Amino acid sequence: MAARIEKSAFHVPTLQELGQVLQGGLKKNFANVQVSVVDCPDLTQEPFTFAAAGICGKPRIADVGGVDYLLPLPQTEKIYNLNVIANQVELPGGFILGAGAASFKAMGVNAEVIEVRSSRRTGQSNFVSCMRETLEQHYGDKSVGMGGTFLIQTGKAKLHVMPEFSPCPLNSNEAVNNWLKFFDMSAPLISQSVFVSRDLGFDLRLEHTHCFSHHGEGGHYHYDTTPDNVEYLGYFVPAEYLYRIDRPEKTLKIGRD
């Protein structure tokens, strides 16, 4: 059966305006912040080693399935084909990056993205939450979606990986957290990230970041554990459209951190 697809346009500010908004918001949470509009570096090179050179073209966010297909017990028949998703978001053959359930998708050649450098965390929010919350405060009901990549250049971060599926139902955040395996992992970590400032009724995962490395560590990003010496360097672009694919009928609203 064909998956249900809902499409919605994001508010897309100019890169200059977004840069200024993010600069102001990150300043509340990091000692050093430098946001600029730059040419995207070649992401096929180290340390990124991505399949496409840049994040640009027709950037779109696809939120596919959801945690509610994993909880309380996994529906193992829910398997998605990235080639099919590329067609579903009307960019066949496009470059997809992102984190499991939420992927950010774009295609094209090099263009500008917003470069974000932040170091020494002084506030409570992680790097991605800080940017998302900043956009929500600034844009309110106008939802802004962004995706891209960032490096954790120094320090460590708390990440989780999923173990074997739990044989018993997971009905609470506490049960989910007891099932997941959490680790402190070391920089340099390469992250693929997506965030949406506000959910306008699509049951989205508002932010989702997965990290990998060339030293064998990786997982789902929660926050850095070394605020005094953490350094982030990221490249992001605003998305034009959201595609909500195969949204679960019912939601438990757990397991979204």
Shortest separation between residue 99's beta carbon and Zn ion, angstroms: 5
Unique residue bearing structure tokens 């080693």 = 49
Q: How far is CA 15 from CA 20, 40, 66, 108, 155, in A?
A: 9, 13, 30, 18, 29
Work out whether 108 is an interface residue with Zn ion (CB under 5 A): no
Q: Which of 105, 132, 198, 220 binds Zn ion (CB under 5 A)?
A: 220
Which residues are CB-neighbours of 116 under 8 A, at least 6 positions away? 22, 26, 33, 34, 35, 131, 150, 232, 233, 234, 235, 236
Please identify the residue of the shown chain whose CB is closest to the bound Zn ion.
220
* Choices 6-14, 35-43, 103-111, 212-220 (CB under 5 A): range interacting with Zn ion: 212-220
- Nearest CA to 238 among 147, 159, 151, 165? 147
Tokens of residue 123, six digits = 């506030």
The residue among 59 and 66 lying less far from Zn ion, judged by its C-beta, is 66
Query: Total binding residues for Zn ion by CB under 5 A?
Result: 3
The residue among 15 and 99 lying less far from Zn ion, judged by its C-beta, is 99
Task: Write the interaction track for Zn ion spanning residues 46-85; mark x where CB under 5 A is met and - where it is not.
Answer: ----------------------------------------
Tokens of residue 55, six digits = 């994040």
Work out whether 177 is an interface residue with Zn ion (CB under 5 A): no
* Choices 5-13, 48-56, 93-101, 178-186 (CB under 5 A): range interacting with Zn ion: 93-101
Work out whether 100 is an interface residue with Zn ion (CB under 5 A): yes
Tokens of residue 69, six digits = 């297909």
Separation between Cα atoms, residue 180 and residue 161, nearest integer Å: 6
By the criterion CB under 5 A, which residues form the site for Zn ion?
99-100, 220
